[in-house]
Amino acid sequence: MNSANKTTRTRQWTGIGGVGLILVVLALLPLLLAHSYYIHILILAFIYVVVSSSFRTISISGQFNIAQGAYMGIGGYAAGLCSVWLHWSPWLTIPLGAVAATVVGSVLAFPFARLRTIYYAMGTLFLGYVVINMFTVGGKLTGSSIGLAGVHPLFSSKTQYYYVFLGFMIVSLACLYRFEFSRIGTTLKAVAQSHQVAASVGINERRVRILAVAFGSFFTGLMGALYCHYTGVASPASFGLAATLWIIMYVLVGGINSFWGPSIGIVILMIVPEFFRDLKGYLPYLWAVILLIIAFTLPDGIAGLPKLIMGRISNRRGKGEVKADASGD
């Protein structure tokens, strides 16, 4: 038992060290980056890391919630509407956005909470579609299909946005992490594996699933509100099906089975292509190629790479050694 504890301890500290290192690098980056465009990209990355991670956290409970983009939209429009029409301060609009997304998301999740996989996915797909359509028909109030402009900015310089959003990302990820690796997360995973067994030990499936959606949609809505204050616009196009598909791709490419999967996915699909900006109109080909490579070689996403390598190594050493991996990544 002691050696197992030791390796877990070492793994934990390596993990913390690695994350700490990345944070230090992120904190120093604005000083090194010449162009504010790169800072812009990183700001967007921070936002989408949280949105994608929330999607993934919800998926732990077995729910493939394709309304994710719409939750972001609810947060964004709630904050945007209050900012543009009521001139409320961002101190109010941003929390409001998060809360609005949570409330609406939880209420709408109710009729779908007992559905299985593909029916849940399709149900939430159309749920998201309906929400986006609602924004589009809002006429002058919501700015129709073009969007609502004039959302009050938060700061004057991009660097300020950068550090504040970095802070939001860190806190959000910490919360999502805690959610997943505590008893709450275990309960979510239990419901995902067998709702029958879960019920027999007193776990109410519907409550747990709605809890997962509520938690995830809170952070997604928060990011939506931040996004709208940053760009100054709340438009349906940013939150529609295409946006959600991208979120799903970030998660799948990075690895849906790992907490850091979404973050890795964003690095690969958002940040790496920036180095190939010269491709311009041909850039989508790069995305497609990345998707195909991952699909063919790394079904568990890039986060699954270490396990794959370890598996190959142990296959070469001893034959068919069953590695009982007690903890998730």
Partner 1 sequence: METVIHTVINVILLSVVYIIMGMGFAFILNLLGIFNLAHGAIFMASSYGCYLLVARIHFPGFVAFPLTVLVAAAVGVVVERFLFRPFKGDFNRTMMVCIALSTIIVTSFNLTLGTKVLAIPSFIEGTTGVGPYRVQSDAILAFCLGIVLLVGIIVFVGHSRWGAQMQAVTQNREGAALQGIRFSQIAAIACAVGFGLAAVAGVFMGTLYNLTPFMGDITLIKVLMLVILAGVGSFNGIFYVGGLLGVLYGALPMVLRGGWVDAIASVMVLALLVIRPQGFFGHE
Partner 2 sequence: MLLEISGLTKRFGGLKAVSDFDIGVAEGEIVGLIGPNGAGKSTVFNLITGVLPVTSGTVMFRDKDITRSQPDQVAKLGIGRTFQLNPLFPDFTVLQNVTSSFHLHPHSSLVDIFFNTRKYRRNEAFVQEKAHEVLGLVGLSKVANELAKNLAHGHQKMLGVARALATKPTLLLLDEPLAGMNPSEIQYSLDAIRGMRDSGITVLIVEHNMQILTLCDRVVVISFGEKICEGLPSEVRANSEVISAYFGADYVC
Give the Cα separation of 250 and 248 in Å (integer): 5
Instruction: Please pick, from the candidates 153, 299, 311, 328, the single residue that binds partner 1 as defined by CB under 8 A.
Output: 299
**Encoded tokens for 117:** 């996989």
**Encoded tokens for 64:** 């493939």
DSSP 273: G
Provide, rounded to whole angstroms, the least separation between the CB of residue 205 and partner 2: 8
Assess 163 for contact with partner 1 (CB under 8 A): no
Give the Cα separation of 146 and 172 in Å (integer): 30
Decide: residue 183, CB within 10 A, 0-12 exposed, 13-18 middle, 19+ buried: exposed
Instruction: Please pick, from the candidates 146, 149, 174, 242, the single residue that binds partner 1 as defined by CB under 8 A.
Output: 242
Give the Cα separation of 122 and 152 in Å (integer): 35
**Encoded tokens for 176:** 């999502």
**130: partner contacted, choices partner 2, partner 1, none (Cβ within 5-8 A by kind):** partner 1
Provide, rounded to whole angstroms, the least separation between the CB of residue 295 and partner 1: 4
Among all chains, which residue has been given the structure tokens 């991996």?
Answer: 325
Contact predicate 262/50, CB 8 Å: no
**126: partner contacted, choices partner 1, partner 2, none (Cβ within 5-8 A by kind):** partner 1
Q: What is the DSSP string of 271-304?
A: IGGGGGGGGGGGHHHHHHHHHHHHHHH-TT-GGG
Candidate ranges 35-43, 171-179, 227-235, 292-300; the one touching partner 1 (CB under 8 A)? 292-300
Task: Characterise 115 by phi-psi region: left (phi > 0), alpha (psi -120 to 50), beta (else).
Answer: beta
What is the identity of the amino acid at 66? I
Provide, rounded to whole angstroms, the least separation between the CB of residue 317 and partner 2: 20
Nearer to partner 2 by C-beta: 139 or 320?
320
**103: partner contacted, choices partner 1, partner 2, none (Cβ within 5-8 A by kind):** none
Q: Which of residues 169-208 bind partner 2 (CB under 8 A)?
A: 178-179, 182-184, 186-187, 189-190, 193-194, 196-205
**Which residues in this chain contact partner 2 in the complex, by CB under 8 A?**
178-179, 182-184, 186-187, 189-190, 193-194, 196-205, 211, 322, 324, 326
**Which residues in this chain contact partner 1 in the complex, by CB under 8 A?**
111-112, 115, 118-119, 122-123, 125-127, 129-130, 133-134, 136-137, 144-145, 241-242, 245, 248-249, 252-253, 256, 281-282, 284-285, 287-289, 291-292, 294-296, 299
